Structure 1
Amino acid sequence: MLNTKVHLAVNAHGIPVRIIITDGTTADCTQAWQLISDIAAEYLLADKGYDSDAIVAQAQSQGQGMTVVIPSRKNRKVHKSYDKDLYKLRHLVKNAFLHLKRWRGTASRYAKNVRSFLAAVQIRCIALWANIS
């Protein structure tokens, strides 16, 4: 069994548009720049794990101009405001993970190596794009 972590960027319909597989101990916020680079989006919805000034700056610059909807972490001295109603749409990301976990092989990480696991995740994402459940 692999010790891996899947990072996903999804579109407004909850369909994965970018997948990154990392070691299981890798922090989420270290992969954010790869997930959002070169993606044209109006909003960046993410959980507290992605609350960092660098991520916010990247999302708002580089011609991306995303509106950041990330709640502040508890330890932040100045808490930022965010659109709570828009943040509720983040369930689409969780739903994408649930669709991936519906396949037993990806949920249990039966793959012997990272390439095989990534291929299994990509195949499931293709099925989501083709609307095959």
Structure 2
Amino acid sequence: MSRYDLTDFEWRVIEPLLPNKSRGVPRVDDRRVLNGIFWVLRSGAPWRDLPERYGPRTTCYNRFVRWRKAGVWDRLMDAISAAHDGAIQMIDSTSIRAHQQAATVKKRGQIIVSVSRGGLTTKIHVVVDAQGLPIRLGLTAGQAHDGQIADRLLDHLGPRTIVLADKAYDADRIRELIQEQGATANIPAKSNRKWKPCFSKRLYRERNLIERFFSKLKHFRRVSTRYDKLADNFLAMVQLASMRLWLRACESELWRKMGDDGLRRAAYRGG
């Protein structure tokens, strides 16, 4: 078993969320295929280097693309992140170097790669919850302003949610979008803003959680460097990495609670 494979806990969470297939030829074992996809995600290796223990590489790749087109990864991301802590949400972006093969595509498709002094880049935009776990994701070209995608990522806020963001999101339309949903923006004002809104430096320090998330996300080598030509495929990889971080956090919390319960039982027994 590879250290990149799904644990029993992770598989118990994912299995009920996968598509059912009651007719026709039974498909190749879902867990083995998913382990192959996660191996590529974590190692960053090309699909053709997939170890034989995961079955044919074409099966893993075709399943990855077919389920992406069918919205399976979207539904899994929504289901797994549904338990997020919405009291505080943070939005930010990180730039990803794109491999030269990601900037060329034979078929028509959305690439979202820009050329700058840093080379070929793509931006990953993320909203995380109060625990630093991802809720919503998006992509833009590397030179795009962070505020361009904020309207789409911040349109599902709950009442009394506090939104933390840096000065790049200090725009009237973004503040109005947040306020219309009953939420509160805690965003530092730009130096040229005449009216200075309320701002808490103490709350703003919580933004280190989103920086930690980006650090963990880039442990997945298929995300830390973009090899996928199509933006949809790359975003699906980011979703899978995000789901894995959610599952690991949930499993760690479960083990912590089990440990606490064990200590309480031991204390009750006088052990």
1:1-133 equivalent positions in 2, closer than 5 A: 1=99, 2=102, 3=113, 4-40=122-158, 42-61=161-180, 64-131=181-248
Deviation at 1:72, TM superposition (A): 0.7
SS at match of 1:20: strand
Which sits farther off after the overlay, 99-108 or 9-18?
A: 99-108
Q: What percentage of residue pairs aligned between the two structures are identical?
A: 38
Normalised TM-score (structure 2): 0.46
Distance in 1 separating the partners of 2:182 and 2:163: 10
Q: Which whole-Å CA distance do the structure 2 matches of 1:66 and 1:91 have between them?
A: 21
4+ aligned runs moved over 6 Å, structure 1: none
Where 2:248 maps in the other structure, the secondary structure is: coil
Q: Distance in 1 between matches of 2:202 and 2:131?
A: 17
SS of the residue corresponding to residue 127 of structure 2 reads: strand
CA distance in 2, matches of 1:58, 1:114: 27
How far 1:80 sits from its partner (Å)? 2.5
Greater relative contact order (Cα < 8 A, sep 6+): 1
Aligned AA (1:23): A
Q: How far 1:75 moved relative to its partner?
A: 2.1
Structure 2 Cα separation of the partners of residues 35 and 115 of structure 1: 17
Structure 1 residue 43: deviation in Å? 0.4
| Code of the aligned partner of 1:44 | V
Which of 1 and 2 has greater Rg?
Answer: 2
Q: Between Structure 1 and Structure 2, how many residues are aligned?
A: 131
1:82-130: per-residue Cα shift (whole Å, max 9, x none)?
0110011111111111111111221111222212211110110010110
Q: TM-score of the superposition, structure 1-length normalised?
A: 0.90
Query: Residue in 1 aligned with 2:65?
Result: none
| Aligned partners of 2:132 and 2:210 also within 8 Å | yes
Between Structure 1 and Structure 2, the one with more helix by share is 2
Q: Which moved more, 1:23-32 or 1:5-14?
A: 23-32
Structure 1: which 5+ residue stretches go unaligned? Answer: none
| CA distance, structure 2, for counterparts of residue 75 and residue 39 of structure 1 | 28
